[in-house]
Amino acid sequence: GRGPRCTLIAFIDDATSRVLYARFTPVESSQTYLSALQTYVTTHGCPVALYSDRHSIFTKHHPEDNEPTQFQRATEALGIATIQALSPQAKGRVERLFQTLQDRLVKALRLAGISDQDAANAWLPQYLQQHNAHFAVAACDDEDAHQPYDGSPETLARICAIHHRRTLSKDLVLSFQRQRYIIQTGGAPRYALRGRKVDVVVHADGRIELVTGGEVLLYKVFDSPQEIPHPVDDKSLNARVDAILTSRRWSEKSRPAADHPWRRYPTADRPGK
């Protein structure tokens, strides 16, 4: 039988027609392409440019929207140029690279009796080796146009995650997906972070980082505003302590003494008891 519908994400070297990356995913999304980009860069380095169609994952369509897409942000951070097909002829160049692969790949999957996405992904490297041996051609220039990635794996994972921009309040709090995040400064001055722009970085596994100026911030999560402790600075700390002490003294003064007449009244049973 056939498994659920899925999408093939693939990177093909334009100079040689060699498939350098391919993976089946449940849906075509920004995160699936970013995860593919992370794996590709880790394995091959950074290409000079990536050629794609004009899907909204790769480019914005509204002329007044100047914010880059998540994929554009990541490629820009990695120094990779992006080129979108602007004509049917140019788009056809992209499509032709996939036609041979897709047609033969579907037939090969059926012959292998594979209908599960995980099994297909495990089998893909074996198939791609045969495919490249048959269809790849020699490049006109032997020089590899990839540039090695010299950053850390953690930084690459952060680049290839989904970023959401937020602004810290004066209490160093930001809201994201119905939760509130409060920054933990560890005793460092808080004023420097007030009003700072912060990237909420959501990784493919759901892990969240808060990053500003390349620095990863420590935080705690609160589900409601009532749970958030109000920060106390040096100027108000003494006043808060004095208020607590005054409240305690007032409570002690208001408590009747042991020999107070109020304590000598007999306790009467209530009617009906």
Judge whether residue 234 has pLDDT over 50: no
Q: Which helix (H) or strand (E) holds 25?
A: strand 19-25
pLDDT at 208: 98
Question: How far is it between the farthest Cα atoms of the chain?
Answer: 108
Which is higher by pLDDT, 272 or 103?
103
Do 10 and 53 touch, CB atoms closer than 8 A? no
Bridge partners for 50 per DSSP: 82
Residue range 70-88, pLDDT digits in tens? 999 999 999 999 988 776 6
The mean per-residue pLDDT over the stretch 201-214 comes to 96
Max mean pLDDT range (12-26, 90-104, 132-146, 151-165): 151-165
pLDDT at 273: 46
pLDDT at 28: 92
CA distances from 36 to 43, 91, 185 (A): 11, 21, 35
For 79, counting Cβ atoms within 10 Å of its Cβ (0-12 exposed, 13-18 middle, 19+ buried), the class is: exposed
Q: Where are the beta strands (DSSP E) in 132-247?
A: 162-167, 173-176, 179-184, 197-202, 208-212, 215-222
Distance CA 246, CA 252 (A): 10
In the chain, where does the domain assigned CATH 3.30.420.10 lie?
7-135
Judge whether residue 62 has pLDDT over 90: no
pLDDT at 142: 82
Judge whether residue 225 has pLDDT over 70: no
Which of these, 268, 76, 11, 37, lies nearest to 157 by C-alpha position?
37
Give the domain 7-135 fold.
Answer: Nucleotidyltransferase; domain 5 (3.30.420)
pLDDT at 235: 46
Structural Rg of the chain based on CA atoms: 31
Do 230 and 171 touch, CB atoms closer than 8 A? yes
pLDDT at 144: 86
What is the overall mean pLDDT for the chain? 84
The mean per-residue pLDDT over the stretch 250-261 comes to 61
Neighbours of 14 (CB within 10 A): 15
Judge whether residue 5 has pLDDT over 60: yes
pLDDT at 140: 86
Vertex 53 angle, CA 156 and 76, to 5°: 30
Give φ, ψ of 142 to 5 degrees.
Answer: -75, -10
Distance CA 215, CA 49 (A): 28
Residue range 151-188, pLDDT digits in tens? 999 999 999 999 999 999 999 999 999 899 999 988 77
Residues 6+ apart with CB under 8 A from 200: 163, 164, 165, 166, 174, 176, 181, 208, 209, 210
pLDDT at 189: 82
